[in-house]
Amino acid sequence: MQVSKTALLTAVALFSVMNGIRSEEVKPVATVTELMVPSSKTEANSTPVKMDASTVIVSEKSDVTLLEETLKQADSYLYGEGVEADFVKASQYYQKAVDLGSPKAMLRLASLYKKGVGVAVDIPKAFELTQSAANLNFAPAQCALAELYLNGSGVPQNQAKALEWLQKAFNNHYDIAGVMLSELLIGPQATEEDIKKADEIVAQIHANATPQTLFAISYAYAKGSKVSQDEEKASMWAGWAAEKNEPNAIYWLGEYYWKKNEHILALDFFQQAAQLGLTESALVAGRLFRDGASDMAPNHDKAVYFLEKASNLLNKKDHFYLVTQYLAGSQKVRNLEKANYWFDVYVKQASIEEVLEKSQQYWTGEQVRRNYELAGLLALSALSKGDRDSRCEFALKLALPQWTKHNAPVAYSILNQCVLDHLQEEKWKQALNELERSMTAQEVRNAQAQSSFEALEDYLKEAQLKF
């Protein structure tokens, strides 16, 4: 049930959210064990080259253009977009943007100094840059400055200062700052007034925040980023985001309930997210319907539906499953055209060994419903991919009238040679004799007159890899 995403993308997104740099919208991985970074309308998740009055402190239009290009260059080097990643050059371009008065660049450069990325670690410098950006009324920097006061990073710990800057950031519509503020207010020394204010803040965010922001807060609680890790609160905020049809939040709730072994409820959330266009969720739903669970029987019609919605994420197992359903599933889903399409996709990706193993499995009915059409076409596909070692086994299949691509003369020519190649194995002679009894005298004479190699190659030229 797993689908991989680039680990670097995940790492960059996490680094961005936690350090005020950037995160593009990242959809969750289609697995019931991993969370991914949400999108948000805040600085940590905004497009880096979009400038507005809150991020540009310059007076001339030409300066704005220069700043846009400078930040774009910095981001390109930091994230390796269009150029090879170069943290030193990234830091240099951020410094140029800082010199042009951008609080966004100040915060990003502060993050680099804090982590020692592209520059030497310099905590006092990180504090100075963050404070400068905060003083320019840049909400993400105000929140970041509050964190520095809370943690005593580059400055003595000062909760009063932290509360002051969190309030400023929240007043500037930076909702995660409001959440952090509410958590501080309900601390051990909380008064009734503090608790009331915290509740009001949470209610305000719940009512007014975008679904993406609500999920970003849920993710923060799930990972313990900016707030203490709390899965129950993560599920609460995800639920509020889900009420506003945020697909990532709905997917997260699917994972949350799956881990609690509430499989039917989890599957319902995966289906909802899939219907809202989250491809990874469609993949999970399709595989769960295919495989079932301890408290849930498989539903192959629904499995086909959702796997098709996730067609660009499927693996070989998924491809072959769709072949079997379109070929021999319920009447509702049977479709030869689609069976042929997915068969072609599967064969192109599978190895000869894999194809032959599947062929034998369906020929003998080993833990699957026997299907000569599928088994025979798989064997034929292996030959078309260059296999010749299995030609004798293929001849046995080709000799069987139950397969629609049955061809007795070609099978006879191949088996005739197999008898010579395997003198110690009686099964080839027995198969040849049995086949000969089913053929006319003229067919036998024609088959004996043709070499096994020519017979096979001519057959392959004419054969179509279709059901």
DSSP helix/strand/coil, 336: helix
What average pLDDT does the structure give for the chain?
89
3-state secondary structure 4-26: CCCHHHHHHHHHHHHHCCCCCCC
Q: Per-residue pLDDT for 52 more than 50? A: no
How does residue 62 score in pLDDT terms, banded at 50, 70 and 90?
low
Q: Per-residue pLDDT for 73 more than 60? A: yes
Q: What was the pLDDT predicted at 386?
A: 95
Q: What is the rounded distance in angstroms from the CA atom of residue 428 to the CA atom of residue 410?
A: 15
CA-based nearest residue to 444, from 410, 419, 417, 418: 410
Q: Cβ-count burial of 74 within 10 angstroms (0-12 exposed, 13-18 middle, 19+ buried)?
A: buried
CA distances, 178 to each of 117, 122, 139, 165, 380 (Å): 29, 28, 11, 10, 65
DSSP helix/strand/coil, 303: helix
pTM of the model: 0.80
Give per-residue pLDDT as tens, 141-182.
Answer: 999 999 999 999 999 999 999 999 999 999 999 999 999 999
How does residue 64 score in pLDDT terms, banded at 50, 70 and 90?
confident
Q: What is the rounded distance in angstroms from the CA atom of residue 297 to the CA atom of residue 31?
A: 20
The percentage of residues in the chain with a pLDDT greater than 70, rounded to a whole number, is 87
